[in-house]
Amino acid sequence: MGEQQVTQKELPYFDLEGAYGGWQVWFPERWMRIGGCAAVTACDVSIYLALYRGLPQLYPFDLQHLTRADYVRFGMMMKPYLRPRYMGVDKLSLFIEGFGGYLYDRGVTLSLVPWEGEHEEAATVRQIRRQIDAGLPIPCLLLRHQAPAMQDYTWHWFLLTGYLSCGGQFFVKVVTYGSWRWLDFHLLWQTGYTRKGGLVLLRD
């Protein structure tokens, strides 16, 4: 029996005083701590694009010395674009409108394309590979999920920054809460509910 083929791709990322990306619990305002995940996702994407895609105008502070204090200030700047609300930023269109407004105000012409959670899993895997291979992180919205193991990710925005294909299984690298982990994509995508979240695909 031959060896199983393993395909793996991970994007570079950034450290914030020991945290892997941002974390909404740092925010001083209660509603941002509770519902600031969309803003955090947009902030992380902005810093990534500033660091690795030549778009420094997307981060208004020192890119060579990232600090939590500056990140919190950045998050509060992002708040008007992706403000917490009663039902959360619970549609891809809300994120695209908000983050798209921030990009426009900074003179960045990057397209944000919705990829709804109703798409088939195989087609979605192809999109994830395409995005990560192009060096672009993927904002992801997960609404409800029937699996108890996914509780920490429900009604939540986070980033996909890598993929791992091995033995017929496909895993994605999930970044949120100032940390990361590998998740089985089949588990992530098959929520068991009719109403789903989805992905936001960045296009140069």
Q: Which residues touch 106 (CB under 8 Å, ≥6 apart)?
A: 55, 57, 58
Whether 129 maps to a domain, the answer reads: yes
Whether 95 maps to a domain, the answer reads: yes
Tokens of 158: 């986070």
pLDDT of residue 65: 97
Sign of CA dihedral 166, 150, 80, 51: negative
Q: Which residues touch 64 (CB under 8 Å, ≥6 apart)?
A: none
Residues 99 and 80: beta-carbon distance below 8 Å: no
pLDDT of residue 2: 45
Whether 1 maps to a domain, the answer reads: no
Residue-number span of the structural domain to which 78 is assigned: 6-203
Q: Which of 39, 36, 55, 38 is nearest to 47 (CA)?
A: 55
Whether 148 maps to a domain, the answer reads: yes
pTM over 0.85: yes
Whether 33 maps to a domain, the answer reads: yes
Spatial distance between the Cα atoms of 7 and 176, rounded to a whole number of angstroms: 23
**Positions of the chain with pLDDT under 50:** 1-2
The CATH number linked to 135 is 3.90.70
Whether 92 maps to a domain, the answer reads: yes
Whether 101 maps to a domain, the answer reads: yes
Whether 20 maps to a domain, the answer reads: yes
Three-state secondary structure call for residue 148: helix
Provide the domain count of the chain.
1
> Which secondary structure element, helix H or strand E, spans residue 138, and what is its range?
strand 138-142
Residues 159 and 44: beta-carbon distance below 8 Å: yes
Spatial distance between the Cα atoms of 1 and 106, rounded to a whole number of angstroms: 54
Spatial distance between the Cα atoms of 113 and 17, rounded to a whole number of angstroms: 32
